[in-house]
Structure 1
Amino acid sequence: MTPKIWWKEGVAYQIYPASFKDGNGDGLGDIPGIISKVDYLKDLGVDIVWVSPMFESPQIDMGYDISNYEAVHAPYGTVEDMQELINACHARGMRLILDLVVNHTSDQHAWFRESRSSKTNPKRDWYIWRAPRYDPLTGARIPPTNWRSYFSGPAWEWDEASGEYFLHLFAKEQPDLNWESAACRQAIYDSAMRFWLDKGVDGFRVDTVNMYSKGPVAAITDAPVVNAGVFEQPAWDLYANGPRMHEFLREMNDEVLRKYDTMTVGELPHTPDPAKVLQYVGAAQKQLSMVFQFDIVNVGQGASYRYEYADWRLSELKGIVAKWQQFIQGTDGWTTAFCENHDQGRSVTRFASDRPEYRALSAKMLALFMCSLTGTLFIYQGQEIGMVNIPSDWPIEEYKDIEGLGYYREIAKQTNNDPQALAQVVKNLSILGRDNARTPMQWDGTLHAGFTEAEAVPWMRVNDSYTDINVAKQLTEPDSVLKFWKDMIRFRKAHSDLLIYGAFDTFDLQTEETFVFVKSHGEEKAVVALNFSDSKQEVELPGSGEFLLQISNYVHSENEAKVAAGGSRVTLQPWEGQLYIHHVTDT
């Protein structure tokens, strides 16, 4: 029997501070804005509020470049505002978690300023420094390795003053911390963790959690060449899941987390082997409560460049879901259920249909899908109203994200600004780009979607869909996406043994239009049937006995008290989801 813990049964809701709600009319979301919507989150059914980075930052990477862990980005508010938010959540029976971004800091952090000040500074080894190499033919200075940054270009930046390069897996303004330094680790525990835990924070979403251990600096080597004609190469295999990774996480738990009632959810890329994931999330390992496995949201992404969109098949998605639902069965591990976050395109556009006649149905079908999966459920802001991607005709000038813009510039350089190639980049970004999730939250149909005041200029353009897709409108509609999400969350909690903790089994993995799976817990079973197409489909209900239809995203009288026998075939309307429950009584 899996132990029941608050963070397993809780529904988590991710907030992107810049885009959630502007409380002071300056066009940028802020902490007071979040506080003003705490009751909305409670009414939705949220138990855990996850606030993405709101720390002091130059905002090169939207707050993932932190210059002071113990301060709040001034346009967002103050530490006192955060304390008020923590208290407001706790007063309503909700928990609050923050992002823990400790693979790197901003280059404006006091630690890095000291580190780069001289080779003899006590904090020099708090970051990863290395001497240059020289081209044997030309004598030109070149980086220590050929690693490529996630944001394009080399992962090493030359520091003229001290005559060495520093490593940055992300932007050059985000130097990587050196976890090999015990003093650095202790400072991280004090500044980034204990400071906030002592204020009542209930845990962390842990950014890039498997990248801290790169090994000794001298052991960092070149990556294999997979992209011909360019110097920089992807080096995931060399810096993810390094030799001391589990040691570092156990130390973090032993010295900090176990002394508080916390949850942790790690961002764990480049780890496709379930056995290796279990090394992070097994309860006996004492490392992480759970992780995000990104195979689902990576569907359709390119192998070398993530924004090279590729068509995908439903059978691929089904296999991924089955893999990560089943990998914890019979173990002491835990998993997550999600299909959106701040780094991904909107799920309705990517996995279903955002055509006007199908958008709401698609969003509801995906809600039924997500709420039926085992693990801790994570919802991203706007997902509960079915927000969609940026329109494909938005020009590149509307995009803000450093990663997407870096890719655009890289392709521009490689193709000598070829218009056709760049048009394809923009098209790909309108599907996969991180900006799709970062447009302001659509609260109502007034100017700027109620995100900020009418006379303000939002930091990012509001999605053109806001007059049709917004919270205020859906609060008045009895069959809205928002109402369906509320109903599904309540149903999930009412059937927690079955839906949150239940074992997962799937059928007909090779079919490309429908997805049928069974959840079971003891003698109780549920069958979920999903139509991922815009035409009617027939599916067979697996098992024996009688199934009672509990939920459909369609409103039609023939579904009322509908009973179907196991082995019978039922018809699904376009983008329909159906959930049946029955109790097995025969032996």
Structure 2
Amino acid sequence: MTKEWWKEGVVYQIYPSSFKDSNGDGIGDIPGITSELDYIKSLGVDIIWVSPFYKSPQYDMGYDISDYQDVYEQYGTVEDVDALIQGCHDRGMRIIFDLVVNHTSHLHPWFQESASSKNNPKHDWYIWRPARYINGERHPPCNWRGFFGGSVWEWDDNIGEYYLHLFAKEQPDLNWDNPDVRQAIYNDAMRFWLDKGVDGFRIDTVNMYSKRLDFPDAPVVEPDTPWQPAYDLICNGPRMHEFLREMNYEVLSKYDAMTVGELPHTPDPAHVLGYISASACQLQQVFQMDLVFLDFGERSKYYPRKWALTEFKEALEKWQCFIEGNDGWTTNFLENHDTGRSVSRYGSDDPRFAALSAKMLAVLLTTLTGTTYVYQGQEIGMVNAPKTWPIEEYKDIETLNYYNEVKQITGGDKVALEEVMRGIQLTARDHNRLPFQWNANANAGFTSSAKSWMRVHDNYGVVNATQQSEDPSSVLSFWKSMIRLRKQYSELFVHGSFTICDFENEAVLSYVKEETNKRALVVLNFTDKPQELNLKLVKDMTVLVSNYSGKSMEPVLKPFEGRIYI
């Protein structure tokens, strides 16, 4: 198996608005990131992934881009980005950017031209369709539900047709079937930054560029709304692999560029391998969502379900083992900008257990095969927003749209709104967008402004990077030691085979990592109660790591204890 830099590296994701404010306007920015590169380097991180910083009206926090070659003015300038790239390279780190090319902002000049006239040369750069009429009444071309709720179609009076938007109506979908669109994307969004030294891309919604362009109606599974989920019609369309091969051949292969794609609603490992097999020449890695969707209910993520540890094990095993015997690669993550905090979802944010469960999850992520991704704040054990916060503290378009839809459908029913609020408190995207907690000063040291763009978590006085950097027993210190250990034992943890043990145990996750003559056993207590250890598993092995002080050989795992035996 080859050992490219993007396999061995640990990636740290940064959300610009929430990382560090350098100029006191209450919002994070590019110079703020650059000012903390030494902190990031100290973690042992090799690669930084920066979420969108491009020019944008910010309807969807920068995932609605109005100019691929410019920077959102509150984040800084192109020169600031140049300095960030150089700063990473000077410290021996690489840097990747978000590539958002399924859609643009409605304010992008391409869409402005497209919507100006059917005769405009760029009209076909987006996806337009005539209305369908039922009993003389105008309806969208099909019943697909958008990812942010409502129809995927928006009527345009000037054109007299609907345009497609899988996300917000301010995010019209590009027409990838038009070769001129693809060439413009390659030039404006990719080569421009690759030539400046960026080391690759995290590619947003990478399986949605090709859709079913005949737009059949999706099956009705939610009879109380006219808009139906259509994932099988939206994702993995007929030309998807063709488009990615072309992108790789014409652009990415000309640079030593890393690619990791966001690949939702693709549950079949054989299908995923078609994207990431080295011989397929498309992508190097993708994010599989089974673990981060584990608590999503059938109705919606905002009606979460209780999950069993055996389900967690099944998902983990599936995406750890699907690359065995082939030329694919995998990824490990429990957090990103679209999730809640992993401590609150898979561990416990009870102050008695929060740090312990954060460390236990660090043991998990740093011992898995594949490339490991850490989201800002995860390394200090940040948790979800307090349950006392009202809906007014939430900013995300997805969350607010869903809450308001429930409010409208139920006539503001208090019980219904309380139910959806409980889901928001667990799975809303805003939890991972709270400002980074640098110190115990006002606004957690995130900004010198009296007010930050989003409220800082109430616990910043006891959970912050400055305090933890001085404490050898802190979550931060533990993460640093685990990243060092991952690199020390890279053959075993990065590249080793993965085997689940004691599968039916609903309290403890145990697995073996093996490579040539090295063997490790990882045991993780996912509960707040002591759990008996299966002594057969640890016979003739010694403890390498525990997230409790010392290297206990006791036959009982403490609450949220994680151990590595070697």
Report the TM range for the smaller structure's normalisation: over 0.9
Q: Does 1:577 align with 2:523?
A: no
One-letter identity of the residue aligned with 1:171: A
Return the offset for 1:26.
0.2
User: What SS is found at the alignment partner of 1:81?
Assistant: helix
Q: Which position in structure 1 is the counterpart of 2:227?
A: 232
Q: Is the 8 A contact 2:301 2:423 kept in 1?
A: no
Q: Which position in structure 2 is the counterpart of 1:520?
A: 514
User: What SS is found at the alignment partner of 2:460?
Assistant: helix
Return the offset for 1:307.
1.4
Matching of residues 525-544 of structure 1 within 5 Å: 525-541=519-535
Provide the rounded CA distance (Å) in 1 between the counterparts of 2:39 and 2:79: 22
Matching of residues 186-201 of structure 1 within 5 Å: 186-201=183-198
Q: Is the 8 A contact 1:537 1:573 kept in 2?
A: yes
Q: Which position in structure 1 is the counterpart of 2:314?
A: 319
Q: Which position in structure 1 is the counterpart of 2:491?
A: 497
Q: Does 1:25 align with 2:24?
A: yes
Bigger mean CA deviation after superposition, 17-26 or 413-422: 413-422
Q: Which position in structure 2 is the counterpart of 1:220?
A: 215
Return the offset for 1:303.
2.3
Return the offset for 1:142.
0.7
Same amino acid, percent of matched pairs: 58
User: What SS is found at the alignment partner of 1:465?
Assistant: coil
Q: Which position in structure 1 is the counterpart of 2:302?
A: 307
Q: Which position in structure 2 is the counterpart of 1:480?
A: 474
Provide the rounded CA distance (Å) in 1 between the counterparts of 2:326 and 2:400: 42
Provide the rounded CA distance (Å) in 2 between the counterparts of 1:310 and 1:346: 16
Provide the rounded CA distance (Å) in 1 between the counterparts of 2:466 and 2:301: 35
User: What SS is found at the alignment partner of 2:565?
Assistant: strand
Return the offset for 1:315.
1.0
Provide the rounded CA distance (Å) in 2 between the counterparts of 1:223 and 1:3: 42
Return the offset for 1:80.
0.3
Matching of residues 543-582 of structure 1 within 5 Å: 546-556=540-550, 559=552, 562=553, 570-581=555-566
Provide the rounded CA distance (Å) in 2 between the counterparts of 1:533 and 1:66: 43
Provide the rounded CA distance (Å) in 2 between the counterparts of 1:438 and 1:420: 27
Return the offset for 1:538.
1.3
User: What SS is found at the alignment partner of 1:390?
Assistant: coil
Provide the rounded CA distance (Å) in 1 between the counterparts of 2:408 and 2:421: 15
Return the offset for 1:15.
0.2
User: What SS is found at the alignment partner of 2:233?
Assistant: helix
Correspondent of 2:174 among 177, 181, 198: 177
Deviations 1:184-230 (A, max 9, x none): 00000000000000000000000000000014x3x111111000121
Q: Is the 8 A contact 2:538 2:565 kept in 1?
A: no
Provide the rounded CA distance (Å) in 2 between the counterparts of 1:171 and 1:510: 42
Provide the rounded CA distance (Å) in 2 between the counterparts of 1:261 and 1:311: 43
Q: Which position in structure 2 is the counterpart of 1:462?
A: 456
Provide the rounded CA distance (Å) in 1 between the counterparts of 2:98 and 2:496: 29
Provide the rounded CA distance (Å) in 1 between the counterparts of 2:45 and 2:320: 22
Q: Which position in structure 2 is the counterpart of 1:98?
A: 97
Provide the rounded CA distance (Å) in 2 between the counterparts of 1:534 and 1:254: 51
Correspondent of 2:155 among 139, 153, 158: 158
Provide the rounded CA distance (Å) in 1 between the counterparts of 2:32 and 2:533: 46
Q: Which position in structure 2 is the counterpart of 1:353?
A: 348
1:13/1:262 CA distance change after superposition, 3 Å:
same
User: What SS is found at the alignment partner of 1:377?
Assistant: strand
Return the offset for 1:485.
0.1
Return the offset for 1:456.
2.9
Return the offset for 1:256.
0.1
Provide the rounded CA distance (Å) in 1 between the counterparts of 2:318 and 2:515: 19
1:538/1:544 CA distance change after superposition, 3 Å:
closer
Matching of residues 236-251 of structure 1 within 5 Å: 236-251=231-246
Deviations 1:38-65 (A, max 9, x none): 0000001110000000000000000000
One-letter identity of the residue aligned with 2:158: A
Q: Does 1:340 align with 2:325?
A: no
Deviations 1:397-442 (A, max 9, x none): 0000000001101111111110111112122111000000000000
Q: Which position in structure 2 is the counterpart of 1:81?
A: 80
Question: Paired residues, what number?
Answer: 566
User: What SS is found at the alignment partner of 1:467?
Assistant: coil
Q: Is the 8 A contact 1:527 1:541 kept in 2?
A: no
Provide the rounded CA distance (Å) in 1 between the counterparts of 2:531 and 2:81: 49
Q: Does 1:117 align with 2:112?
A: no
Runs of 4+ in 1 over 4 A off after TM superposition: 541-545
Q: Is the 8 A contact 1:290 1:336 kept in 2?
A: yes
User: What SS is found at the alignment partner of 1:517?
Assistant: strand
Q: Which position in structure 1 is the counterpart of 2:326?
A: 331
User: What SS is found at the alignment partner of 1:75?
Assistant: coil
In structure 2, the gaps of 5 or more residues are none
Q: Which position in structure 2 is the counterpart of 1:565?
A: none
Return the offset for 1:305.
1.8
Correspondent of 1:209 among 198, 206, 209: 206
Matching of residues 286-301 of structure 1 within 5 Å: 286-301=281-296
Bigger mean CA deviation after superposition, 354-363 or 536-545: 536-545
Bigger mean CA deviation after superposition, 533-542 or 151-160: 533-542
Deviations 1:472-526 (A, max 9, x none): 1101111000000000000000000000000000012221110000000012110
Q: Which position in structure 1 is the counterpart of 2:417?
A: 422
User: What SS is found at the alignment partner of 2:541?
Assistant: strand
Deviations 1:127-164 (A, max 9, x none): 0000001123xx21111100111111110000000100
Q: Which position in structure 1 is the counterpart of 2:11?
A: 12
Provide the rounded CA distance (Å) in 2 between the counterparts of 1:580 and 1:426: 42
Deviations 1:330-383 (A, max 9, x none): 110000010000000000000001111111111000000110100000000000
Q: Does 1:272 align with 2:267?
A: yes
Q: Is the 8 A contact 1:300 1:311 kept in 2?
A: yes
One-letter identity of the residue aligned with 1:481: V
Q: Is the 8 A contact 1:234 1:304 kept in 2?
A: no
Return the offset for 1:545.
5.9
One-letter identity of the residue aligned with 1:196: W
Return the offset for 1:541.
5.0
Q: Is the 8 A contact 2:231 2:265 kept in 1?
A: yes
Q: Which position in structure 2 is the counterpart of 1:395?
A: 390
Q: Does 1:510 align with 2:504?
A: yes
One-letter identity of the residue aligned with 2:370: G
In structure 1, the gaps of 5 or more residues are 563-568, 582-587
Return the offset for 1:310.
1.1
